[in-house]
A and B are shown apart, each in its own frame.
Chain A
């Protein structure tokens, strides 16, 4: 102990300095070589710890995504959130440029490996869903709205890829992926929701009783679409939309996926919603007035739309869980920054035990949600229950952690400049879109229905 002064060494209140002989880090160094190898570790932060657990190609993906988010999204995040409400079809030069940069960086077409898409081939030894989860988390951590602006694109392309139809992929997906890679700001959008029918489009029981709002009528070698879609992310600026419509005179079981191109006669974005958050991404109301779609612009075949829709949601709900983890991480990081910056009674808040407890809880909840997503995505098999569990569990966590961040910042949380309130506003949408969390809970039970009926005493009667 000679020459060692505990008070002089930097430490947080209530903790020993890391060089104190009684601290684990210092104590481990006195172990023998074998024990030391078993017990010691680099004192890197949680993000680095988790990144190092990934295989090398995914580590690179995560580091690249974070670097892109910090370089390209962060400078735009606050100003875009406060920008005036965008009129339908209008894209600011800054956002246009961002989309171009994301395309050139390979972020928009990475659902397929190069040269078909923009993903690095080495990554494709691992599930595409896991890749998407890693990417969206990093973008969402910096800005939910900008993340959605870029990521709704993957959702729009998904029915084409899931159709498994090489011709459709070659004609509709690959040209856009190539254009994106060249830096052209062209995006996909996914259009299912109709006025008065949010959950009905996401849940079979509701769909059974729902009268479709967008209807396709046979006309020569194609179909005429009529009706409206609402809340379509990026629907007003998209180049190519996967639009789901019922066939005339039939119910939702006839849903068919049609490709509609921007500028098609009769197709227009009527309005963009004023939203609580996610403001960099538009939620558009789209009008279809006798929009002609030729037969060869049908994805997956007639009456296959409901299946494609459900399969798309089963794929996309896991990345929705991941983007929620990004919100939770963003809120946690903001809270740490504030606790280290804000002083009371002459010392930063991080010295106070109640602040440390709160931060540790936020860190734990975020890491737990991430573990669920990564574990589910890494062993991905198409399963509705797993996707829904990831979605509602992580999005509820995100909102709870954002609330904890606001509580930690106290009345300073109200200020836009401090960031926490924006995370809450952005995160709140995730409990609603891609099926409300109530619908997603019921989707878990639906998925196990047959097993549950078999266990039920009156299963036979049912």
Chain B
């Protein structure tokens, strides 16, 4: 994608280009759902994505159109969401991987730090969303107990460390650390300086792997963000991550829904096509509803100004409501297939597993609700 002026993005043309890339480069590689992408093939496809400017190869070389590159621009957000959605329709694991890489690039640009290779941001601490403590920190209201909990939440020094889910050939991780001035700072850790345990056999996102990462002994540069800037960075990261998770999940449910529609239009039961049965129409309706509401929410989120804690709370509440619907829509698409849906060949079960992953990563619905409530404390 060639660079164009920021305010005249030919959105549809760019999305079409992403869709062509997904159809030509990605789809043939993931057509056999029971055989996950090999790391080598994945790297090749990712390189193509980098060449077309979908992700920046490094933070200092913006294409102008890469995912999450111009975070403040509504158009860039719309572009990123649309691109992730189109990639998610083909393969959610790959889409999520690009999203994570783009978040790392976003952070590197904010910190003016150029880290080579494919990196990830460890945005989630040991468990959940640190109850309300992270939210209160983002609002500048964290008390001593909150800070103590955050210290433990982001503790990557002691076992088992923090969990990250990424492609096997990741280069490094951005780890948050609560600094001496009680503000969250970021440290880049090249892979070779970390203690890494591979935790194979994740539930879904078969293209990726889970790792427990712990800081190594070596010193590493640490950001020196002022407290307000530190909060802004974390708030924006959480907001972009929420949008990205929903965009990828939306693509996934669209894929599942399209498969179910096709099947329902050919499979017969009781002398009629199954799409004529109310039972199947209700199942398909769940997918349609999830798609419509998520689309609407993402569109509205692109138009909102800035990433304040209150805006993040709205995003969290939306995600808390939508993520179970996206899982349900995918599960109901599987149900349309009956026994076939449970078999790996159809790809439906993989979509459902992937959706489950996106539901529990970076906050489950319950945790998102608690975090949103803490973000809204005293706001009225």
Contacts and interface: CB of A to CB of B under 8 A. Distances in A.
Interface string B131-175: 101000000000001001100110000000001010000000000
Tell me if A's interface is mostly helix, strand, loop or mixed: helix
Interface in A333-364: 342-346, 349, 352, 354, 358
Interface string A185-214: 000000001001011100101101100000
A409 B360 contact: yes
B148 A345 contact: yes
B360 A414 contact: yes
Interface in B297-335: 324, 327, 331, 334-335
Given A200-B269, A432-B341, A349 B357 contact: no
A110 B90 CA distance: 49
A222 B56 CA distance: 72
A144 to B, nearest CB: 12
Contacts of A231: 339
Interface string B356-373: 110111111111001000
B345 interface: yes
Contacts, number: 150
Contact of B127 (A230, A344, A399, A432): A344
A346 B357 CA distance: 27
A276 interface: yes
B292 to A, nearest CB: 23
16 contacts: A209-B270, A231-B339, A273-B344, A274-B344, A274-B345, A275-B349, A283-B339, A345-B152, A411-B362, A412-B163, A414-B202, A414-B205, A425-B349, A428-B352, A437-B335, A441-B279
A428 B350 CA distance: 13
Contacts of A205: 270
B342 A413 contact: no
A431 interface: yes
B210 interface: yes
Interface of B: 34, 124, 126-128, 130-131, 133, 145, 148-149, 152-153, 163, 165, 199-205, 210, 267-271, 279-280, 283, 324, 327, 331, 334-335, 338-345, 349, 352-353, 356-357, 359-367, 370
B197 to A, nearest CB: 11
Given A208-B270, A346-B152, A415 B199 contact: yes
A421 B126 contact: no
B360 A438 contact: no
B335 A431 contact: yes
Contact of A438 (B200, B205, B335, B340): B335
A407 B359 contact: yes
When A and B form their complex, which 7 residue pairs have the shortest distance between CB atoms, in order from nearest?
A209-B271, A416-B201, A421-B203, A345-B149, A276-B349, A438-B279, A274-B344
A213 B303 CA distance: 56
A38 interface: no
A267 interface: no
A82 to B, nearest CB: 6
B202 A416 contact: yes
- Name the residue among A407, A411, A438 with the largest chain B CB count within 10 angstroms: A411
Contacts of B331: 399, 428
B326 to A, nearest CB: 13
Contacts of A416: 200-203
Nearest to B369: A354
Contact of B342 (A342, A410, A412, A428): A428
A421 B361 CA distance: 13
Contacts of B365: 407
Contacts of B279: 438, 441-442
Interface in A401-444: 403, 406-417, 421, 424-425, 428-429, 431-433, 436-438, 441-442
